[in-house]
Chains A and B, each alone.
Chain A
Amino acid sequence: MTPQQVTRGDGSIRWRLIIRSLILVFLVVVQPVDLLDVSAQGANWECPAPAAVDATPVGMPVTANEDQAAFPTEGGNLTVFAAASLTDAFEAIEKELEAATPNLSITYNFGGSQALVTQLEEGAQADVFASANITQMDAAIAAGLVASAPLPFTHNRLAIVTPAGNPSDIQSTADLGEEGILLVLAQPEVPAGRYARESVCLMATDTATYGAGFVERVAANVVSEEEDVRDVLAKVALGEADAGIVYVSDAVAAGDQVHVVDIPDKVNVIATYPVAILAGGDEALGTAFVTHLLSDEGQALLERYGFQRAE
């Protein structure tokens, strides 16, 4: 028995010492009192000067004709990196194109545009990049990833979504500032998250309608900053959150899983989606894909999925 008791004695003294020093280090480094501070929730965001909120299209929109849209008859493998919000529309385009062109195989990688740029920078191989905003396309250009002039191929509006049946009774944009609403946004670096914050900033300038401190009130309601806009949609569709700000195209994709509350034009932010062919990619396949996006057929499909025609 004695050896065991000795063992126990030694061990527990050491463990007590280790645990105490760990707790000490934790208290000094982290100051966990802050963690209990509920007011830490809802970090504020800074509104840009109103003039800075715009979405200037890059390059000149191209009106493509059907002849150019032809894919090489031998087909091939086309890899497209595309913003998460394009998921449903692009998958429909894939079906159409693959049915029309034998031996053509399209592979998509959907994600937040900013994450796609990081992946491309780290050496991911793709032929086409379709971004949800110009900032991320510019980042790709700055990194030397892009081989062609980017073309705006579609636009997207923002909308508020609530769970089906709208249990928290959100009637208008002003209700986003109501106390206790669980609001989910994409994180600020995600285009959808940035546009959503810009839109709230626009609302705040109209103090007659939205009252004072609107941005602060909305910011205090944000309970999660998601990685991409589809995660925002999922949290709302599940009923975990009371409201989220997504693209109209996402709301269309979710169908009757969500209830849509319109954001008036005056305070809405129109997203511009540029597309470009990537350096080191298959130029013929990439050009054919971009041309198809800009063709009447491609534009009509995008419109069916809640996007707006490229002007």
Chain B
Amino acid sequence: MRTAVRELRVGDTPGNVSRVVRPRPAAHANAGTTAIGAPNRASEIAVWALALCLLLFLAIPVGALVIRALGTGVAWDARTYETLRQALGLSMATTAMTMVIVIALGTPLAYLLARRRFPGAAAIEALVDLPIVLPPAVAGIALLVAFGRNGLVGQWLAEGGVTVGFTTIAVVMAQIFVSAPFYVIAARGGFARVDRDVEAAASDLGATPGQVFRTVTLPLIAPSLIAGAVLAWARALGEFGATIMFAGIFPGVTQTMPLAIYGRFGAGDLSTALLLSVVLLIASLVVLLGVRITGGRVRGGS
């Protein structure tokens, strides 16, 4: 990341900032063409065949889910509706809370990691990355021994009469723990890629640091922040292992969509589990597509 910053700074002028901000859509546009390198027919077929294998592997389970859900049909009774409403509502509410906190606290952290040099920066970066590679079960146990009633911090909280376990707050905590790194990493990359000379120029023209951030830095890093926020949101929405261990399962309080799906499946109620899965699938698809479309416009807007 640091070397990348230096590479960009060499020979950078305010004029080519837009190019720096838009490398991805440019690469994307080339993906479907054979103009570069003009590969021969055989290798082209091989590339398509290999790509198709993975694509099918990804598409078949999703398709099967939808087909099975349509085929099974749903006993659309009050209980199914209540389960769906509570779980979807809780998932949306908790992931929204998670995103507000992750963005509010993650942006400053990403800024510091990208812009300041301080001892232990590498260790802090590793610490931030760690939850990404940790299995959810480890995250669950870690949260329990930290914030559980007998945990490192939790026992102090318990003495003060605060119990986090089995509350919606525990769900949000689990989501923040597993999703924040995705946002911080993307935002850090965004901050590191911004041309410092542009900010300096704005500053020279009399902009306050706040104005520089709002009118120069923020628009430049917006694509990175949005991409990071979407990844983090997706991870928070799918969060399961840490939640089930740390927060427990209770409808309307801690039972988010993934937990409800697992719960209905475990209860032998496959048709409701399928319905919830498909709803989650559609909700995720809508958000991802929406971000793809609008994100593309934001980046290509100039």
Show the binding face of A for B, using Cβ within 8 Å. Answer: 1, 3-8, 10-11, 14-15, 18, 26, 29-32, 34-35, 40-41, 43, 111-112, 114-115, 117-118, 136, 139, 182, 184, 187-190, 222-228, 231, 235, 238-241
Contacts and interface: CB of A to CB of B under 8 A. Distances in A.
Contact of B219 (A8, A34, A189): A8
B265 A226 contact: no
B294 A14 contact: yes
Grouping DSSP codes into helix (H, G, I), strand (E, B) and loop, the B interface class, with mixed when no group exceeds half, is: helix
Contacts of B218: 8
Contacts of A6: 301-302
A187 B294 contact: no
A115 B290 CA distance: 36
Contacts of A240: 144, 148-149, 165-166, 248
Interface residues of B, number: 49
B223 to A, nearest CB: 9
Nearest to B216: A4
Contacts, number: 139
Interface stretch (B29-37, B88-96, B111-119, B126-134): B88-96
A6 B165 CA distance: 47
A31 B89 contact: yes
Contacts of A222: 250
Interface stretch (B39-47, B173-181, B267-275): B267-275
B211 interface: no
A35 B90 contact: yes
Contact of B88 (A11, A30, A43, A112): A30
Nearest to B163: A182
Contacts of B215: 5, 8
Contacts of B203: none
**Which of B150, B249, B252 is packed against the most chain A CB atoms within 10 Å?**
B249
B297 A226 contact: no
12 contacts: A4-B220, A8-B215, A8-B218, A11-B297, A11-B298, A41-B253, A114-B266, A115-B267, A118-B266, A118-B268, A240-B148, A241-B165
A115 B219 contact: no
Contacts of A15: 294, 298
Nearest to B290: A18
A223 B302 contact: no
B171 to A, nearest CB: 11
Contact of A11 (B202, B248, B262, B301): B301
B85 A239 contact: no
Contacts of B17: 4
